Amino acid sequence: MRRLKAAADKAAQRADDAKQLVHLAKAELKKARKAAKQSKKAAKQARKKVEAAKAASALRAAGAARAPQPAKTSEASKAAGPPKANGVSKTQAATKSAGPRKRAVAKPRSPARPSAAAVARSVIKRLQSEPAKAAAAVNGSPEAGSGTAAQ
């Protein structure tokens, strides 16, 4: 009877340890998902900043190219100059031809960032590869991982 009772207690302890490991794995997975979500958000913000910087530099370049032209011409030279083709000046033609910008097409994801499923698999593999360490850390007893301690 004592052996059966000891075996039952041991099995219950192993079940509790396994539950604790599952709980820890789930918590770690939750943290990994949260970190992945935050990094995705940071990458999106960085892309937006790059797009804004490109647009601003393009506007500055276009503004710098157009700014000297109006300063050089005076109203007298405009009246005396040759007529424009179709009544449109060069700067007006340049601004009309540019038109509205199209939205950038989304780029495919880089393979460097693992998916949540890949993170979960790696966590589970790591926990399975170190069961003795994890069990000893859970209950702190030296015979946690051994099967012959209480027989």
Query: Rounded to an integer, what distance in angstroms lies between the CA atom of residue 118 and that of residue 114?
Result: 6
Taking the complete model, does pTM exceed 0.75, yes or no? no
Q: What is the pLDDT of residues 32-87, one digit of tens each?
A: 999 999 999 999 999 999 999 999 888 888 777 765 555 555 555 555 555 555 55
* pLDDT value of residue 125: 87
